[in-house]
Amino acid sequence: MPWKEVSAMSLREEFVVLASAERANISVLCRRFGISRKTGYKWLAREKAGGKPALMDASRRPHASPNKTAVSIEAVVVKLRKMHSAWGGRKLRARLLDLGESSVPAASTIQAILQRHGLIDPVEANKHCAWQRFEYEAPNDLWQMDFKGHFALTGQSRCHPLTVLDDHSRFSLTLLACANEQTATVKNGLITTFRRYGLPRRILADNGAPWGSSGSEHSYTPLAIWLIRLGVRVLHGRPYHPQTQGKDERFHRTLQAEVLQGARFDGLLDCQQKFDHWRDVYNLERPHEALQLKPPASRYVPSELAFLETLPAIEYGPGDQVRKVQSEGWISFRNRDIRLPHAFRGYPVALRATQEDGRFDVYFCRERIQQIDLNDPVATGY
């Protein structure tokens, strides 16, 4: 999409960061951001000549001076902390270094400054302990997707924040203020994300609607079917184990602490504008503990897998035995009625023999969705 007036600055910054990455495809990025190559190279040239201030109407960078006194440095620390009330000493120090401040004190000194000014709650500080977790090797290998708990807006409406996070870089791909948690809402949000950043290889979601079917052994929904047809593998966390999506859950806690806590929103538009501003800070500025105090944009590269505006035809190999799933979710195979998840009604599936006699894998597009055993006289599916 083209530059939006309310978020032109954020789009420029994000474009420049992604286009400056090693092996970045600038032509593809320009197309995904909805701008001409001329405009893209113009912003790259401006940033190279004058840094981030050259991209904005007025610089948001704190004033720096090589002769700052200890008092003035302390004032800068306090000012930055008040802008980002959930950041501790290490994050604040990393950000001050990124901004080019001279004589930046140690993280422990910054922590002491915060304590002197009454800007640290000891109870809250004890809750934040850095720890390591597994991450996928490269950007777009896995995206984590979920809704954060909904909350009230002024009036009768509520906001349901849809979040999508890249597992490797922690880059926030989607932070959308939604009116509901329906399939169409999620699909439209993902289309916007796919057009800008390309497709992931996998998406991890929980077992609830609209991406899963709670209480069912086979968590396939219309949204999952659409993703599979795009070539995206859909994974689901263990039931009642939200820690499976730990990075997105951690993102939700950060969103709560830095944006939602004690805030009031006049409606979805007001909410989205605040989300957009904070997402820029999170992706482009906020130091991340798990990334050696670098922001997520420093590790993210858009996917080379382009979004397909028209879904490809479903085709199978010459050795596959193809059946169309009937209206009640059944297929007929070798005089046996086999039941498949209802989400596949009307679609063709392929049956492929395994190395074990009588066992067949059932595929939809490139994903194995089930296995059947014809040796079991009562087996009819799941």
Tens-digit pLDDT profile for residues 20-29: 988 889 999 9
Sequence-separated (6 or more) residues with CB below 8 Å from residue 369: 218, 220, 340, 341, 344, 349, 362, 363
Sequence-separated (6 or more) residues with CB below 8 Å from residue 46: 54, 55
Across 31-45, 77-91, 102-116, 206-220, least confident range = 206-220
Cα angle for residues 233, 238, 239 (degrees, 5° grid): 120
Are 25 and 172 found together in one domain?
A: no
Are 171 and 288 found together in one domain?
A: yes
- Confidence at residue 208, expressed as pLDDT on a 0 to 100 scale: 78
For residues 3 and 11, the answer to whether their CB atoms sit within 8 Å is yes
CATH of the domain at 273: 3.30.420.10
Express each pLDDT in 296-319 by its tens digit: 999 999 999 999 999 999 999 999
Of 247, 264, 298, the residue that ends a domain is 298
Residue 62 lies in a domain: no
Are 147 and 267 found together in one domain?
A: yes
Model confidence at 126, pLDDT cuts 50, 70, 90, reads: very low
Model confidence at 58, pLDDT cuts 50, 70, 90, reads: very low
- Confidence at residue 95, expressed as pLDDT on a 0 to 100 scale: 85
Partner residues linked to 203 by β-bridges? 143, 234
User: How many Cα atoms sit within 13 Å of 118 on the Cβ side?
Assistant: 0
Across 32-41, 42-51, 113-122, 372-381, least confident range = 113-122
Residue 218 lies in a domain: yes
Q: What is the 3-state secondary structure (H, E, C) of the chain?
A: CCCCHHHHHHHHHHHHHHHCCCCCCHHHHHHHHCCCHHHHHHHHHHHHHHCHHHHCCCCCCCCCCCCCCHHHHHHHHHHHHHHCCCCCHHHHHHHHHHCCCCCCCCHHHHHHHHHHCCCCCHHHHCCCCCCCCCCCCCCCCCEEEEECCCEECCCCCEEEEEEEEECCCCCEEEEEEECCCCHHHHHHHHHHHHHHHCCCCEEEECCCCCCCCCCCCCCCCHHHHHHHHCCCEEEECCCCCHHHHHHHHHHHHHHHHHHHCCCCCCCHHHHHHHHHHHHHHHHHHCCEHHHCCECHHHCCCCCCCCCCCCCCCCCCCCCCEEEECCCCCEEEECCEEEECCHHHCCCEEEEEECCCCCEEEEEECCEEEEEEECCCCCCCEC
- Number of domain units in the chain: 4
Asked if pLDDT for residue 124 goes beyond 70, the answer is: no
Helix axes 26-33, 8-19, angle to 10 degrees: 160
Residue 228 lies in a domain: yes
Q: Please give the average per-residue pLDDT across 73-80, as a whole number.
A: 82
Are 15 and 46 found together in one domain?
A: yes
Q: Please give the average per-residue pLDDT across 58-70, as a whole number.
A: 48
Give the predicted TM-score (pTM) of the model: 0.75
Are 177 and 275 found together in one domain?
A: yes
Partner residues linked to 362 by β-bridges? 351, 370
Across 108-122, 186-200, 260-274, least confident range = 108-122
Helix axes 37-50, 8-19, angle to 10 degrees: 80
Are 219 and 277 found together in one domain?
A: yes
- Confidence at residue 7, expressed as pLDDT on a 0 to 100 scale: 62
**Pairwise pLDDT comparison (242 vs 362), residue with the higher score:** 362
The rounded mean pLDDT for the chain is 84
Residue 130 lies in a domain: no
At 350, give phi and psi (nearest 5°): -120, 140
Residue 363 lies in a domain: yes
Asked if pLDDT for residue 59 goes beyond 90, the answer is: no
Are 78 and 47 found together in one domain?
A: no
- Confidence at residue 60, expressed as pLDDT on a 0 to 100 scale: 47
Model confidence at 207, pLDDT cuts 50, 70, 90, reads: confident
Express each pLDDT in 147-201 by its tens digit: 999 999 988 899 999 999 999 999 999 999 999 999 999 999 999 999 999 999 9
Find the domain containing 361 and state its range.
321-373
Asked if pLDDT for residue 123 goes beyond 70, the answer is: no
Asked if pLDDT for residue 69 goes beyond 50, the answer is: no
Residue 382 lies in a domain: no
- Give CA 36 to chain center in angstroms: 26
Are 147 and 288 found together in one domain?
A: yes
Are 197 and 242 found together in one domain?
A: yes
Extract the tokens encoding 111.
Answer: 């922590």
Express each pLDDT in 337-352 by its tens digit: 999 988 899 999 999 9
What does the alpha-carbon distance between residue 15 and residue 2 come to, in Å, rounded to a whole number?
12
Are 282 and 354 found together in one domain?
A: no
- Confidence at residue 83, expressed as pLDDT on a 0 to 100 scale: 81
Residue 310 lies in a domain: no
Largest CA-CA distance found in the chain, in angstroms, rounded: 87
Asked if pLDDT for residue 65 goes beyond 50, the answer is: no
Are 188 and 88 found together in one domain?
A: no
Residue 138 lies in a domain: no
Q: Please give the average per-residue pLDDT across 374-378, as a whole number.
A: 78
Cα distances from 94 to residues 124, 209, 356, in angstroms, run 21, 39, 57
Across 116-130, 131-145, 193-207, 300-314, least confident range = 116-130
Are 180 and 289 found together in one domain?
A: yes
